[in-house]
Chain A
Amino acid sequence: MAWQNKILRVNLSDHSCVTEPLNRDWAQAYLGQRGLGSKYLAEEVDPTVDPLSPQNKLIIATGPLTATTAPTGGRSSAVTKGALTGAIAASNTGGMFGAELKLAGYDLLIIEGRAASPVYLWIRDDHAELRSAEKLWGRSVWETEPWLRRELGEPQAKIASIGRAGEVGVKFACIVNDIDRAYGRSGVGTVMGSKQLKAIAVRGTRGVRVNDPDAFRRAVLDTMKILQPSPVRKRFTVRGTHNMMDVTNRFGSLPTRNCRDVQFEGVEAINADAVRVRRLSDGKPSLQGNKACFACTIGCGRVATIDPVSPLVNGPDPQGGDRSRYQLPSGGLEYETAFAFGPMCGVDDLDTLNYVNFLSNEQGMDPISLGVSIAAAMELFEENVVTLEDTGGLELRFGNAEALARAAELTAFGEGFGADIGLGADRLCRKYGRPELAMVVKGQEFPGYDPRALKGMALAYATSNRGCCHMRARPLLDDFSNVSTDGKAELVKTTQDLVGAIDSSGTCVFTNVMFPPEHLAQMIDAACEGDWDLERLHTVGERIWNLERRFNLAAGFSKDDDRLPERTTSEPAGAGAGKGQIADLSQMLGEYYRLRGWDADGVPLAETLNRLEL
């Protein structure tokens, strides 16, 4: 129950689509989504495989609560060996696509091999087939979704697809679903592009059965009674994640100009208040409203427009079309997109930030990695390592909004210097002989929290199995009030385990600050067979973390990869709560390894693996 007990396995090499039963023992041990997808990947894919080879697999995994009425029960994950990092990747999305896949009757979709020519996958309940995507190759996400609905005659079909970035091999390409939601990080869209799979369209008309409907209804209602009046829920609804920008800036943890600085002087032009300021041209603010994913009553997603008189939305675009499509409302700035294109690049032009965000959704690029990679390119340019000749005449200086927009366009299409930016910050900086300028961990770019003041986040970044990530642990609230390394190892370990379980449930990790995790355990217990409580969820999360760690160790990662960029460990923060401080992992990392039951080299001990039945 709650699981559909069915997997769809699609082999692109021989064009086969077959169903098979879900391994229920694994579902009991790994729950779903990130955990269950990772288990299948670890069992079926050699960790040393080239991420872009046909031997790598791409798994779209739902959770037991996906497509139920559990609050935020619309999540799904894309699991693969990441093209950006070479590490295990599990990128989590909302929107409607994951729920539709579950409603079609599948827990997991396993995609293997490589198509000889571009294809898309069409699933309608029990029916699944591969069709030619020759007409779609070269098209954007925004063109692909309506085209497929027309072609299929299914206006209710939900679609996940790649844009040009995934086709041309941008290392941080993502898979975009529902126009502006995405399996965002680690290059999962690059893997999809390497398989010549343009899109997945799905229509599901089945329900999801839960184990004890009455108990499940009670558990959901009890949870809603806490969620709805939560002031944090209200803040997410009204202000979105963008609200964080003022906080990190004042605290001195807003990565600015490729982490040269920790505060940005232009923040008031691009923060959550700025998007509410009415424009002179049409009297409307940039922010048009908010929107929610499947079964979500939070609605943290933003909807925005660009000033209609901006040259970014008028005249010809670089591909010979016109820019009028950018005049329409679309997914707006979240905190991470605003940080990456704004402070990190030193840009304070709101329209440009919205434009580059639109472009990221349209062509399928992870906005965090895009912004941070452009920031690295800007520093290379300012250091005279990259020249005007390299950039094709582009003055890639911090603060140059026009250059930011043009660099993003070039990257999306793999053209000119954009092909170098599309390598990601790590490969870009290595190519030009300055690896220390890449703000990355395990090859993945920094999110919007500078780790010099935020001690727990420093450890969370360094130990994240998918490369630098702010969502794999939840130390932030403690970090803001406790600028010390004391207790952070245990906090990071504990919250990593909890997040592992939430990421595997089918619900959104944002809920962890809106209702206690015991409520998640109650909903899972009512929905699924087996006895589920919070302790068991922590064990599942810990098992997932160790499974991911073992995959990465087998892929060639070691304790030497649990580290932060030199800048953050050698150049003290210049302002804020961490003024004069560096990110120092020396004490926390050893303690963290001990708490995890790993040896001094960060390798899980046999007793740990036995305890977790790995």
Chain B
Amino acid sequence: MTIEIKLFGFGDDRPPSFSNDNTIRLDVDTPTTPWLLLRAIGITDATGLVLMNADQVIPQRQWNDAILQDFDRLTLLSAFEGG
């Protein structure tokens, strides 16, 4: 299945798998969870990360449980308490 991930707020700190683009499309063989997917693209620290599926936030406590679907469009926000 194909899942799109789009980054916001990372600046130049985007994971290497994204090259210089803020969007990546992944072909995944089996149903997967958000955390497995994020680890696959090189993210190991979830601090300050917010994951949305379309407009729905997936809380971090569900990252090991939620099952992603074919053609899901994920957004990953790098958020911090700013001014």
Contacts and interface: CB of A to CB of B under 8 A. Distances in A.
Interface in B50-65: 50, 52, 55-57, 59-60
A272 B8 contact: no
B59 A243 contact: no
B12 interface: yes
Contacts of A575: 55
Chain B at the A interface: mostly helix, strand, loop or mixed?
Answer: loop
Contact of A232 (B48, B50, B60, B75): B48
B61 to A, nearest CB: 9
Interface in B22-70: 45, 47-48, 50, 52, 55-57, 59-60
Contact of B9 (A234, A243, A252): A243
A250 B81 contact: no
Interface in A261-295: 272-273
B8 A246 contact: yes
A579 B54 CA distance: 11
Given A241-B82, A476-B79, A481 B12 contact: no
A247 B9 contact: yes
B80 A334 contact: no
A300 B8 CA distance: 19
Contacts of B3: none
Contacts of B13: 231, 234-235
B62 to A, nearest CB: 10
B77 A250 contact: yes
A354 B1 CA distance: 45
A476 B77 CA distance: 13
Contacts, number: 86
Interface in A220-252: 231-232, 234-236, 238-239, 241, 243-244, 246-247, 249-252
B11 A235 contact: yes
Interface in A428-480: 470-471, 474, 476-477, 480
A239 B80 CA distance: 12
A251 B77 contact: yes
B49 to A, nearest CB: 8
B9 to A, nearest CB: 4
Contacts of A482: 57, 59
Contact of B8 (A236, A247, A474, A512): A247
A512 B82 CA distance: 10
Contact of A238 (B12, B48, B59, B80): B12
A233 to B, nearest CB: 10
Given A231-B47, A239-B11, A247-B77, A483 B57 contact: yes
Given A250-B8, A272-B11, A482-B59, A513 B83 contact: no
Nearest to A475: B81
A476 B11 contact: no
Nearest to A334: B83
B81 A335 contact: no
Given A231-B47, A480-B50, A577 B56 contact: yes
A510 interface: yes
A477 B8 contact: no
A336 interface: yes
Contacts of A470: 83
A576 interface: yes
Given A235-B80, A250-B77, A577 B57 contact: yes
Interface in A477-523: 477, 480-483, 510, 512-513
Interface string A198-228: 0000000000000000000000000000000
A252 B55 CA distance: 9
Contact of B78 (A247, A249, A336): A247
Contacts of B55: 252, 575-577, 579
Given A480-B79, A483-B57, A577-B56, A244 B9 contact: yes
B81 A513 contact: yes
Contact of B48 (A252, A300, A477, A579): A477
B6 to A, nearest CB: 8
Contacts of A474: 81
Nearest to A246: B8
B56 to A, nearest CB: 7
A245 to B, nearest CB: 9
B11 A238 contact: yes
Contacts of B47: 231-232
A456 to B, nearest CB: 11
Nearest to A580: B55
Contact of A477 (B9, B12, B81): B81
A471 B59 contact: no
A249 B55 CA distance: 12
Contacts of B50: 247, 251, 480-481
Nearest to B49: A481
B83 A480 contact: no
A272 B27 CA distance: 31
Given A250-B77, A483-B57, A243 B82 contact: yes
Given A246-B8, A247-B9, A252-B55, A481 B60 contact: yes
A277 B47 CA distance: 29
A498 B48 CA distance: 20
B48 to A, nearest CB: 6
B63 to A, nearest CB: 10
A477 B79 contact: yes
A481 B83 contact: no
Contacts of B9: 243-244, 246-247
Given A246-B9, A476-B81, 7 more contacts: A232-B80, A235-B11, A241-B82, A247-B50, A470-B83, A513-B80, A579-B55
Interface of A: 231-232, 234-236, 238-239, 241, 243-244, 246-247, 249-252, 272-273, 300, 334-336, 470-471, 474, 476-477, 480-483, 510, 512-513, 575-577, 579
18 contacts: A231-B47, A232-B80, A235-B78, A236-B82, A241-B83, A243-B9, A244-B9, A244-B80, A247-B78, A471-B83, A476-B79, A476-B81, A480-B79, A481-B57, A482-B57, A510-B81, A510-B82, A513-B80
> What are the nearest 5 A-B pairs in CB distance?
A241-B83, A241-B82, A247-B9, A244-B82, A246-B8
